[in-house]
Amino acid sequence: MTRVLSVVIATTNVGKLAELRALLADLPVQLLAVTEVLGENLAINEDGATFEHNATLKARAVCQATGLYALADDSGLEVAALGGRPGVRSARFAHERATDAENNAALLRELEDVPDASRAAKFRCVLALANPWAPAEVETVEGSCDGFIARAPRGSGGFGYDPLFVVPELAERVMAELSDAEKNAVSHRARAVRALRPVLVRLLDERLREVERALG
C-alpha cells in the first residue's frame, strides 16, 4: 500500500504506538514515532487538568518540532469510587516514575475496602491531530470503555491498567486477557480511532487531489 500521508505519533509509549498502527493499518497513512523523525524524544510538560488539554498540548508541540501532522493520545483510567482518579495522572499514580506494576498495586491498595458493586471504572482516550498548515486548529475526538476493577491482576497482554480492567461485555475478562483483535474492537483507544477516521479520510482525499493537480 502506498502511504500518501505522514503523521507523527506524539508518544514514546510503545504499547500505544503499536495499537495505533494496528488500528490504522488499513489506511494509506505512514505513522512515524517521534524518535524516527527527530532522532530523540521530545520533552513535553503534560500539566493539563484534562485529557483533551494534554493531548492538544502534545500534538501542537510535536507538529511544531517536526513540521508534520502530529497525532497525540492522552488517556487513562477513571475510577468512580476514587472521584475519577487517577485520571490524567494514570501513568504517575504511584509516583512520578512509576511502572505499570507499581500503579496497579497502588490502585488495588486504594480500593482494598471498596465492595465489588462499587468498583466501576472507565478507560478514556482523547486523540488530538495537529495540522502543520494551521497549527492553531487542533481536532480532537474521544473514546471510552466502561468496566470495573478486579481484585487482583490477571492476564499477560496489554499494558498500563489492562491486568485489572474487567470488560463485562467480553465474559468479564480483563483487558490483559484479550487478544489484540478483541481489545481493538472494544477499547477506548479503538473507539477514539473510529471517531478520528473521518478526519483522516478527509485529509487523505485532500492530499490525493493535490497530487492529481500536481500531475496535471
Burial of residue 66 (CB within 10 Å: 0-12, 13-18, 19+) is buried
Q: Is 7 helix (H, G, I), strand (E, B) or coil?
A: strand
Domain that holds residue 36: 5-215
Other beta carbons within 10 angstroms of residue 71's beta carbon come to: 29
Give the mean pLDDT per block of 10 residues along the chain (216 residues): 82 87 92 87 81 95 93 96 97 94 98 97 97 87 97 95 96 95 93 95 82 68
Compute, in degrees rounded to 10, the torsion defined by CA atoms 154, 158, 162, 168.
-80
Active site residue 74: yes
**pLDDT for residue 211:** 67
pTM: 0.90
> One of 26, 73, 74, 113 is an active-site residue; which one?
74
In the chain, the number of structural domains is 1
CATH number for position 202: 3.90.950.10
